[in-house]
Amino acid sequence: MEFCDECGSMMQTEDGVWICTQCGFEQARDAEQEAEMVTTQAQEESEIIESGGGTSGLPTTSADCPSCDNDEAYWYMQQIRAADESETRFFVCTECEHKWREDDH
């Protein structure tokens, strides 16, 4: 994707040149620069690596499970409200995998 140096709009390719969709500014295409661009197709084809074992990659802490009275849980933070609100901490029991939020108690 290329943006116009004159007005900042997105440009399209046509006959070996970039053409601005708004002001008509033209710029020669650079094959080396375009080869370095990441396309959406390349993003879709990228390999996704998953850790083996569900929540085992999460950090653990001391927390009393309300379901089985285990005293250790995995935890993670997630933004579930507006961006100007604080994140919510979630816990997952290391024994029974019961999931709860920090403010559930």
Is 96 assigned a ligand-binding role in the annotation?
Answer: yes
Based on the residue annotation, tell me whether 84 is a catalytic residue of this protein: yes
Is 93 assigned a ligand-binding role in the annotation?
Answer: yes
Based on the residue annotation, tell me whether 102 is a catalytic residue of this protein: no
User: Which of 44, 47, 50, 85 is the catalytic position?
Assistant: 85
CB-CB contact of 41 with 25 (8 Å): no
Neighbouring C-beta atoms of residue 65, cutoff 10 Å: 20
CA distances from 40 to 37, 43, 46, 72 (A): 10, 5, 10, 41
Is 4 assigned a ligand-binding role in the annotation?
Answer: yes
**Catalytic sites, residue numbers:** 84-85
Annotated binding residues: 4, 7, 20, 23, 65, 68, 93, 96
Q: Which residues are annotated as a binding site for Zn(2+)?
A: 4, 7, 20, 23, 65, 68, 93, 96
